[in-house]
Chains A and B, each alone.
Chain A
Amino acid sequence: MAEYRTQMKIIGDILSTTRDDLQDEDGATVTYLIRKANISHSRISRILKTLVSQGLLEQADSQGSNRYKISQSGREFLQAYHSFSKFADNFGLNI
């Protein structure tokens, strides 16, 4: 059975991909993130827009397509996300 993912978990997966699993130094394309985060195009577009506006991701136009890299704020958020995921895990909960 597929595991239910909260919005927070999806955001964590996207940020983790842009931090640890980049294709190249220019950043990750939307297609790459869709494949890695296993999420629809319409949904990831909304999330990426939010993450860029919040300063967690940096958007760059490279080779004719939008590419995304994690920002310093994004790294800090991701670190907090991992720490408090463990915190919530102790209670049998997902953040």
Chain B
Amino acid sequence: MLENILNLVGFLVGLAIGIMSFVGFRNTGSPTLFRLTIAFFSISIGFLVIWFGYMLEDYVIKSGNIDRGIQTLGIIIQTIGYFFIAFSHSIKALFPKSNYFRSVGILPFFLVSTVQLEHIFRSISFILLVYGAIETILSYRDNRNKGAVSVALGLGLLAFGEFLGWYSFVFPESILYSISMTIKIAGLVALFIPVSKVPLKKIKFDDDLDKI
């Protein structure tokens, strides 16, 4: 039941940010906002697919475990979203210059030791999210935008949640998966806080400007 609620919350928060991005894309035609639209709609749909899997299990299959195929499909869709967030930081995401980031880039080779598709995509998600968080916090040095700190924290929490979700296969029946989901939701909320401050309503123009 908890998983149902958490996945539904994840779907709604991701959808809200996706709609914000889409409105921005419609208004400005910016390719960056288009990529963010795809990213957050993918993350949102991923949560929806997993929620659907849990609902199916709870009310139809009743086997005690979510269908592995549906869960994997949801995670793959979410990974596409994380890819577009990292990809928005351009080619730097693929070819980091510093030795430190190169060492971080090697991590997938250690993490994808299992052959299961779900674990592979969780590993990729983790790396993409960590990279996105690092890039975002580095941008704070340039623009001192406090919203960037919240977004970096959100991406970091999503990465940590993804890591715990991946690690929960060690303790399949434990509360670890629910903790992972809660952390991911907290991450999405942290992403949403600065985004929610963007005015979507029609903006009133200054009277002085109308005289120009």
Contacts and interface: CB of A to CB of B under 8 A. Distances in A.
The B interface is mostly helix, strand or loop, or mixed, namely helix
Contact of B88 (A20, A86, A91): A91
B145 A89 contact: yes
Contacts of B194: 90
Nearest to B139: A92
Contact of A84 (B24, B85, B138, B147): B24
Given A86-B147, A86-B198, A91 B136 contact: yes
9 contacts: A19-B209, A80-B24, A83-B24, A83-B203, A84-B27, A87-B195, A90-B145, A92-B137, A92-B148
The A interface is mostly helix, strand or loop, or mixed, namely helix
B148 A91 contact: yes
Given A75-B209, A83-B203, A93-B89, A88 B27 contact: no
A52 interface: no
Contacts of A47: none
A53 to B, nearest CB: 14
Interface residues of A, number: 25
A91 B30 CA distance: 14
Contact of B143 (A75, A76, A83, A89): A89
A81 interface: yes
A92 B30 contact: no
B212 interface: yes
- Which 10 A-B pairs have CB atoms at the shortest separation, nearest pair first? A92-B139, A90-B147, A80-B27, A84-B24, A95-B30, A92-B136, A90-B194, A87-B198, A79-B203, A89-B145
A50 to B, nearest CB: 11
Nearest to A91: B151
A77 B203 CA distance: 11
A25 to B, nearest CB: 8
B163 to A, nearest CB: 21
A80 B21 CA distance: 12
A8 interface: yes
A61 to B, nearest CB: 19
A79 B209 CA distance: 12
B155 to A, nearest CB: 9
Contacts of A83: 24, 198-199, 203
B32 A90 contact: no
A25 B211 CA distance: 10
Nearest to B30: A95
Interface in A8-36: 8, 19-20, 22, 25
